[in-house]
Amino acid sequence: MHATAQQEDNTSLHGLIDIEHYPINQLDGQAGQRLIDECRQQLADDGCVVLKRFVPEEALARLERETERLSPKAHYNQTETNPYNSDGDPDLPASHPRNRFDDRTNGFVAGDCIDDSTIIRQVYQSPEFQRFIAAVVGMDEIHEYADPLAGLVINVLREGCQHPWHYDTNEFIVTMMTRQSHGGGRFEYAPGIRSPEGENFEEVEKVLDGDRSTLKSLDLQPGDLQIFFGRYSLHRVTPVEGDKERHTVIFAYAKEPGFIGRPERAQRIFGRMAPIHEQLLKEGMQRSDNLQD
């Protein structure tokens, strides 16, 4: 029974992922282990893995059409936000990162708008893909979000949209670009600038002041897969230029089953809450670490 399910999953990914160069369906073999080792080394070096042309050209055209079809469902919002998506603190200096706000304007297609027939949903739910991601980030297993809005998301950036310096709420994030803008939309990050033990506000303030000595910048292209430790690396997407939207699929996984994002974050990003968020808002929820969000 298990072997049959695994075989069906491999078939479903056939043609959607460049298995020849990225043998994620053969992780127990020599080629698969070599791929994992290379990815882990990249993560150890700077907290980020980029697998160029992870999706073959023929599948990429389908993916682009898919996100183009779904992009009108994106909820756009504009807000002034600090790197922690939190309120400012009047007891701290104006220069403190908690009090440094910038424009965030972008759109997100929520997960409940992306049905099971889509390629991106098939990849997100694939046990082989999940096993590969778990191996790369050094976990025994990873789990799809229980959050119906934030697990699988399409980020849509049109001209002038940007995502300023911020952290992700989960420890790592997996993304796949499906459409690049004419200009701008560059991904920049400060690898491992904070940790569960501390915020490192002093170094964060330097980045916000324009110090680029610790920054890395990526020239992502459609079909590239990125695995990123965004909970500990400050990062941003620079303003998009031109009339061509930038589309990126976000595959969000958690270390434990049942992960649900903060209700207020769902309201801010998607313009609404799911019933589970409304329930949690009434009951209250606690995070397992003390980092700012």
7-54 pLDDT per residue, tens: 444 446 878 899 999 999 999 999 999 999 999 999 998 889 999 999
Q: Which residues touch 216 (CB under 8 Å, ≥6 apart)? A: 46, 48, 188, 189, 190, 191
Residue type, 44: A
* pLDDT tens digits along 88-137: 999 999 999 999 999 999 999 999 999 998 989 999 999 999 999 999 99
> Pseudo-torsion of CA 248, 254, 257, 263, nearest 10°?
-70
Q: Write down the pLDDT at residue 76.
A: 95
Q: Write down the pLDDT at residue 4.
A: 40
In a domain, 293, yes or no: no
Q: Write down the pLDDT at residue 5.
A: 41
Contact 152, 263 (CB under 8 A): no
**87: CATH:** 2.60.120.620
SS (H, E, C) 254-291: ECCCCCCCCHHHHHHHHCCCCHHHHHHHHHCCCCCCCC
- Please state the rounded mean pLDDT for residues 67-83: 95
| Beta bridge partner(s), residue 241 | 183
Contact 97, 208 (CB under 8 A): yes
In a domain, 291, yes or no: no
Q: Write down the pLDDT at residue 102.
A: 97
Beginning with the edge strand found earlier in the chain, give each strand of the sheet holding 234-237 in spatial order.
163-166, 234-237, 187-190, 216-218
In a domain, 40, yes or no: yes
In a domain, 52, yes or no: yes
Residue 241 confidence class, pLDDT cut points 50, 70, 90: very high
Choose among 144, 152, 149, 73: nearest CA to 120: 152
For 19, the token pair is: 């298995």
Contact 277, 177 (CB under 8 A): no
In a domain, 15, yes or no: yes
In a domain, 244, yes or no: yes
Q: Report the chain's mean pLDDT, rounded to a whole number.
A: 90
Contact 136, 231 (CB under 8 A): no
Contact 71, 151 (CB under 8 A): no
Residue 228 confidence class, pLDDT cut points 50, 70, 90: very high
- How far apart are alpha carbons 149 and 129 in whole angstroms? 20
Q: Write down the pLDDT at residue 292.
A: 52
In a domain, 3, yes or no: no
Which runs of consecutive H residues, i.e. helices, occur in 16-153? 30-46, 57-70, 119-125, 127-136
Q: Write down the pLDDT at residue 11.
A: 44
Q: Which domain holds residue 252?
A: 10-283
Owner of token pair 């697990």? 151
* pLDDT tens digits along 269-284: 899 999 999 998 888 7
Count of structural domains within the chain:
1
Share of the chain above pLDDT 90, in %: 78
Which runs of consecutive H residues, i.e. helices, occur in the chain? 2-13, 30-46, 57-70, 119-125, 127-136, 201-208, 263-270, 275-283
Residue 288 confidence class, pLDDT cut points 50, 70, 90: very low
In a domain, 2, yes or no: no
What b/e readout covers 188-209, taking b as 16+ CB neighbours within 10 angstroms?
A: bbbbebbeeeebbbebbebbbe
Residue 286 confidence class, pLDDT cut points 50, 70, 90: low
Residue 142 confidence class, pLDDT cut points 50, 70, 90: very high
User: What is the distance in angstroms between the CA of the first residue and the CA of the last residue of the chain?
Assistant: 42
| Beta bridge partner(s), residue 177 | 248
Is residue 211 over pLDDT 60?
A: yes
